[in-house]
Structure 1
Amino acid sequence: MPDPILSMTDTCLSLDGNAGQVDILHDISLTVTSGETLGLVGPSGSGKSSLLMLMGGLEQATSGKITALGQDLTAMNEDQLALFRRDNMGVVFQSFHLIPTMTALENVATPLELAGQRDAFDRAEAELNAVGLAERINHYPNQMSGGEQQRVALARASAPRPRLLLADEPTGNLDEANGAAIIDLLFDLRDRHGATLIMVTHANELASRCDRVVRLRDGRIDEAMSKAAE
């Protein structure tokens, strides 16, 4: 059996809201194995995106423990988490979060430069070629369609060759045709770099391609199933 790449034990998340503390996630225990593709599904407000943010160290757990690649994320401060993400994770959001004053090439090269990669622009260009944007590398985000911007975001997330690739509703802002193309690219990036892929999705087609699907409801794991058990 492959080694665990990420594990969560009795993990809870509470956030302060206008009406006081709001409990988002309750006693989440979950293990993800290396090379697995995991889909997080459930109704709106069930805690899917919050769970993904915890996995990526973008939110701090209120209690419990999260371990990724043998490192205790719950023991890290924000700076340590940022460095860990830079070196080990790629994150793709529903909103593309591109830097508007940078070209596609510069957007993809920036995290590589921050990581001290000398061939940052060569690798960025190779990733943009891989997602079908060879002719758009010098275009700015406002000169590209939504589908093209999401391709840039995918290239940026995958260029550092992360061990963990996290995607939050990657097709949520796209039409059916562009969404299908992004799904294919996600799985291609996983295969090319050998990454473990964890994604939040409402799309049945995307969930059906995952090795395992975890369902959330009201901040708790409602149902977990493996394709092998279906």
Structure 2
Amino acid sequence: MAAPEILPEILVEDLRLTLASAAGPVDILRGISLVVEAGETLGLVGPSGSGKSTLLSVMAGLERPTSGSVTVAGQRLDTMDEDALARFRRDHVGIVFQSFHLIPTMTALENVALPLELAGKRDAVGEARRQLEAVGLGHRLEHYPAQLSGGEQQRVALARAVIATPRLIFADEPTGNLDTRTGEAIVDLLFDPERRRGATLVLVTHDEHLAARCDRRIRLADGLIAA
């Protein structure tokens, strides 16, 4: 009996995404093919407008491509409907946004517990408390996002992204709104092996120093992988 085929964690083939605009169609991604292995850390770099964040959004199941295939964790994202994509993200993906995307009416503790509560996990609040303590925010559990500094909000966002031990972590300019010292602390947390627990990490950044910490870097230009 033949051994089962082992797929990479992310397989992107001839990915294209075109958006409509008042001036006509705009090609954002123009035929990208990419393989990311399980447990790999990958940095996506390139100038603004090169398609980095769009590519990350497609791989995270947040944006649908115009054509091409996207297979992540063994599942074809480009063939899923919105409900299936939402379940996929819930079960497999953690996302860290540059602008944090915390729910303003929820405390830090409630924000971090939410993914586990949506998944029906037991002791969501207890695990959220442990995650926040692990990122140095045990004293901020009952504070709302508006009462937290930018660095504290990003640590809450990171705790929320990893609380369900996702297979994949996607980070879009995770240090872009932070000062250098705070940004370095966030990076250390993001790359911490215990916190990632073997998850595949894909991040978008303009920071070459940050990208250099990844196992591999890919540079995008005009919606293509640059040679």
- Tell me the TM-score normalized by structure 1: 0.94
- 1:31 and 2:54 aligned: no
* Structure with greater strand percent: 1
Report how far residue 192 of structure 1 moved: 4.4
Q: Are residues 212 and 190 of structure 1, via their aligned partners in 2, closer, same or farther at CA, if it must alter by over 3 Å?
A: farther
- Contact in 1 for aligned 2:190/2:196 (Cα 8 Å): no
- Contact in 2 for aligned 1:54/1:60 (Cα 8 Å): yes
User: Where does the alignment leave 5 or more consecutive residues of structure 2 unmatched?
Assistant: 1-5
- Contact in 1 for aligned 2:9/2:74 (Cα 8 Å): yes
Question: Which residue of structure 1 lines up, in the alignment, with residue 56 of structure 2?
Answer: 52
- Contact in 1 for aligned 2:116/2:124 (Cα 8 Å): yes
Question: Which residue of structure 2 lines up, in the alignment, with residue 96 of structure 1?
Answer: 100
Bigger drift between 42-51 and 116-125 goes to 116-125
Residue 226 of structure 2 aligns to a residue whose secondary structure is: strand
Report how far residue 191 of structure 1 moved: 5.2
- Contact in 2 for aligned 1:190/1:196 (Cα 8 Å): no
- Contact in 2 for aligned 1:46/1:217 (Cα 8 Å): yes
- 1:129 and 2:111 aligned: no
Question: Which residue of structure 1 lines up, in the alignment, with residue 3 of structure 2?
Answer: none
- Contact in 2 for aligned 1:50/1:59 (Cα 8 Å): yes
Question: Which residue of structure 2 lines up, in the alignment, with residue 179 of structure 1?
Answer: 183
Which whole-Å CA distance do the structure 2 matches of 1:191 and 1:109 have between them?
A: 16
Question: Which residue of structure 2 lines up, in the alignment, with residue 228 of structure 1?
Answer: none
Residue 13 of structure 1 aligns to a residue whose secondary structure is: strand
Which whole-Å CA distance do the structure 2 matches of 1:190 and 1:86 have between them?
A: 21
Task: Report the residue type matching 2:172 in the other structure.
Answer: D
- 1:168 and 2:178 aligned: no
Report how far residue 18 of structure 1 moved: 2.2
Q: Are residues 205 and 117 of structure 1, via their aligned partners in 2, closer, same or farther at CA, if it must alter by over 3 Å?
A: same
Residue 9 of structure 2 aligns to a residue whose secondary structure is: strand
Q: Are residues 104 and 191 of structure 1, via their aligned partners in 2, closer, same or farther at CA, if it must alter by over 3 Å?
A: closer
4+ runs of 1 displaced by more than 6 Å? none
- 1:218 and 2:222 aligned: yes
- Picking from 126, 138, 144, the partner of 2:148 is 144
- Contact in 1 for aligned 2:53/2:204 (Cα 8 Å): yes
**Count of residue correspondences:** 222
Report how far residue 3 of structure 1 moved: 5.1
- Picking from 14, 18, 30, the partner of 2:18 is 14
Which whole-Å CA distance do the structure 2 matches of 1:132 and 1:217 have between them?
A: 38
Task: Report the residue type matching 1:61 in the other structure.
Answer: P
Deviation sequence 1:52-94 (CA, Å, 0-9, x none):
0010111101000000111100110111101100000001110
Bigger drift between 80-89 and 184-193 goes to 184-193
Task: Indicate the RMSD between aligned Cα atoms, in angstroms.
Answer: 1.2
Report how far residue 156 of structure 1 moved: 0.4
Q: Percent identity?
A: 64
- Tell me the TM-score normalized by structure 2: 0.95
Residue 19 of structure 1 aligns to a residue whose secondary structure is: coil
User: Where does the alignment leave 5 or more consecutive residues of structure 1 unmatched?
Assistant: 224-230
Q: Are residues 56 and 192 of structure 1, via their aligned partners in 2, closer, same or farther at CA, if it must alter by over 3 Å?
A: closer
